[in-house]
Structure 1
Amino acid sequence: MPKRQHNWLSVPKSVLKKDQGRGFAVVASEVRNLAQRSAAAAKEIKGLIQDSVAKVEEGTGLANQSGETLEEIVTATKKVNDIIAEIAAASQEQSSGINQVNKAVVQMDEMTQQNAALVEEAASASESMKDQAQSLKQQVTFFNLGQEISPPPKKRKKKNAPQNRSPLPSSHHNDDDDGWEDF
């Protein structure tokens, strides 16, 4: 009988082994499922990483392009500032030139006004002299007795000893007129 007991004892072990085998199969199946899901997740993560890398590279390219564009803008801004400074300097020079022209025009206007005043004074003086000459002529004709006016007698020249002095400048004196003038 002892053999029979032995059989009885060996049955539950095989059942236990069978149950253990099923448990391992379930665990193995779950591990397989988990491995498949992990592989799928890893594949998805790999795709996301590749997408991210592509987007980072694109962003880096855009950032570099933006940097270059900003450098161009800074350079263009400096050029515009230089041009504005040149325009301001030229405007200042032109303004200074215009001020000088304005001063010259004002001076010319003042001189023109002075000249006009002098011309008026000269015309007035000329008119006055004309009137005085006319009056003098009338007064002289009043005294005219029908005789011709003779020049005053000539003065005799004295002969003196020569002197070391330089001669006085002589005016060209015409003895015929002696300062008299006909009207």
Structure 2
Amino acid sequence: MVASEVRTLASRSAQAAKEIEGLIGASVSLIEQGSEEVIAAGSTMNEIVDAVKRVTDIMLDIAAASDEQSRGIVQVSQAISEMDKVTQQNASLVEEASAAAASLEEQAARLTQAVDAFHLQDTGATMRSSFL
């Protein structure tokens, strides 16, 4: 009877060893699969990091371009302000020139009236000879 129990025990041990071998094989397979997935995840993470770096570079380029455009807008605004000042000065000069022209016209009219008072009639050759 002991021999039959030993055989049964040996048979069960052999069966358990086969099950353990199968479980170990399945575990190794799962570990290999998990390792491949970790490698794939690492690769995906590297791609994400690279994409973030590219986006960061693009954002820096956009920020630099925006800053440059902002400076350009400030320069244009200053130029427009300067042009406005010059236009106002020109308008003032035009008013002054207009007033001066009107004053000169008035003075010319008065001079014409004054000269008309001294208008002499031509008496011919006798007048001319008296001035010579």
TM-score interval for Structure 1 and Structure 2 normalised by the shorter chain: 0.7 to 0.9
Which residue type is aligned with residue 83 of structure 2? M
Pairs aligned (count): 125
Q: Matches of 2:100 and 2:30 in 1, distance apart? A: 101
- Cα offset for 1:33? 1.5
Q: Matches of 1:61 and 1:89 in 2, distance apart? A: 42
**2:81 is the alignment partner of 1:97:** no
Aligned to 1:112: 87
Aligned to 1:65: 40
**2:26 is the alignment partner of 1:56:** no
SS of structure 1 residue aligned to 2:62: helix
Q: TM-score, normalised by structure 2?
A: 0.83
Gap change, CA 1:128 and 1:27, over 3 Å in 2? same
Instruction: Give the unaligned 5+ runs of structure 2.
Output: none
**2:19 is the alignment partner of 1:78:** no
Gap change, CA 1:143 and 1:59, over 3 Å in 2? same
- Cα offset for 1:79? 1.6
Aligned to 2:119: 144
**2:14 is the alignment partner of 1:39:** yes
Q: Which segments of structure 1 move beyond 2 Å, counting only runs of 4 or more?
A: 142-148
RMSD of aligned alpha carbons: 2.1
- Cα offset for 1:138? 1.8
Which residue type is aligned with residue 12 of structure 2? R
- Cα offset for 1:125? 1.4
Question: Which is richer in helix?
Answer: 2
Instruction: Give the unaligned 5+ runs of structure 1.
Output: 1-25, 154-183
1:122 pairs with one of 82, 97, 103: 97
- Cα offset for 1:116? 1.2
Overall identity of the aligned pairs, in %: 54
